[in-house]
Amino acid sequence: MPRTIQDIQLEVDQYISQFKEGYFQPLSMLARLTEEVGELAREVNHRFGEKPKKPEEADNSIENELGDLIFIIACFANALKIDLDQSFSQVMEKYRVRDQKRWTYRETES
């Protein structure tokens, strides 16, 4: 069954709440997010760029790196008491209004 953004935030919170340390501080989470984006960039470069993996490099995947990003984003949001569902809705509305005439729409079939 697919998870909602709220489900993901709750699952991450339940996981993190098991530990005395709790969530990292915001600057530490930003550093982790940056690190994970770098790992995603490396995987994309290996798969689609000019830099193949070295034989001794561990297998990883774009899917795993995207999952890591979802986890740390949920951690970041939870620590700051941000509802990602609401945040995402606001961002989509911004894009719908701002980019309304920016792109060429596909023809719809009648």
Q: What's the rounded mean pLDDT across residues 25-34? A: 97
What is the domain class of 5-83 according to CATH? mainly alpha
The DSSP code for 79 is H
Indicate the pTM of the whole model.
Answer: 0.86
Tell me how far apart the alpha carbons of residues 60 and 98 are, in angstroms, rounded to a whole number: 36
Other C-beta atoms lying within 10 Å of the C-beta of residue 88: 11
| Percent of the chain whose predicted confidence (pLDDT) is above 90 | 74
> What's the rounded mean pLDDT across residues 55-72?
89
Residue 59 pLDDT more than 80?
no
Domain coordinates in residue numbering, the chain: 5-83
Checking if the pLDDT of 109 tops 80, the result is no
The answer to whether residues 46 and 52 touch, using CB atoms and an 8 Å cutoff, is yes
Instruction: Write down the pLDDT at residue 85.
Output: 97
Amino acid symbol at 48: F
CA distances from 58 to 3, 24, 49, 52 (A): 29, 27, 18, 12
**Residue range 58-84: average pLDDT?**
94
